[in-house]
Amino acid sequence: MAMNGDTLGLAIAAAVLNPGATAKGKAMCEDFWKKVGNAIVDHIVNNAEVPAGIETNTTTQIPPQTPTPHTHTGKTTGTGRVV
């Protein structure tokens, strides 16, 4: 699942909003935190790197009609990126 700045911002706004806030105050708070959430997500997506060597373990059936699934284990061989 990709990160989403609007979702992050709305979650933060919900945590800090005063329950008695006016509709205008609530909208301003949500707008502000969506901008902050998007800035955080953009920074992570543009700067984070996933290292090589992450252990993997998957089970697949190739082709799907094969009665016995095949297990694949190992480590990633290259770096990845955050999405």
Note the pLDDT tens digit of each residue in 70-83: 787 888 888 888 88
Cα 44 off chain centre by: 10
Domain total in the chain: 2
Quick check: 46 pLDDT over 80?
yes
Indicate if 41 and 75 belong to the same structural domain.
no
Indicate if 30 and 62 belong to the same structural domain.
no
For residue 74, report the phi and psi dihedrals to the nearest 5 degrees.
Answer: 160, -155
Indicate if 54 and 43 belong to the same structural domain.
no
Q: Give the Cβ contact number of residue 20 at 10 Å.
A: 7
**Domain range for 30:** 5-47
Quick check: 41 pLDDT over 70?
yes
Cβ contact 82:41 at 8 Å: no
To the question of pTM greater than 0.75 for the whole model, the response is no
71, β-bridge pairs: 59
